[in-house]
């Protein structure tokens, strides 16, 4: 929950910077160097978020699992949000 809260705080802060900059009175309250620094921080955050998202999407594999469906009998379920075409076969086995 703490990570989600920090993520939402970050999103809100980025939106607030945009709102402040778009308000002529607030824009005048900071000089150009301060706005440049905030813009650089937002750009760094964007770049970092892009790298993290890319690593997550590249790291995900498609998993097919055969399962009993209530209506269709046996069916194949795909679990993935990755962009890869490769499929990893998975089989659920009983430990006994």
Report the pLDDT averaged over residues 41-55: 92
CB 90 within 8 A of CB 64: yes
pLDDT of 60-96, one tens digit each?
Answer: 865 555 555 566 555 555 544 444 555 555 555 555 5
Q: Is the pTM of this model over 0.85?
A: no
Q: How many CA atoms lie within 13 A of 79 on its CB side?
A: 8
CB 63 within 8 A of CB 88: yes
In the chain, % of residues over pLDDT 90: 45
pLDDT band at 50 (very low <50, low <70, confident <90, very high): very high
What pLDDT, on the 0 to 100 scale, is given for residue 58?
A: 83
């Amino acid at each position: 929950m703490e990570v989600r809260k920090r993520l939402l705080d970050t999103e809100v802060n980025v939106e607030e910077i945009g709102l402040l900059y778009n308000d002529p009175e607030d824009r005048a309250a900071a000089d150009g160097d301060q706005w440049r620094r905030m813009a650089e921080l937002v750009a760094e955050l964007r770049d970092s978020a892009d790298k993290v998202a890319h690593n997550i999407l590249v790291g995900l594999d498609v998993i097919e699992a055969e399962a009993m469906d209530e209506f269709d009998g046996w069916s194949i379920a795909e679990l993935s949000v990755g962009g890869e075409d490769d499929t990893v076969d998975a089989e659920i086995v009983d430990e006994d």
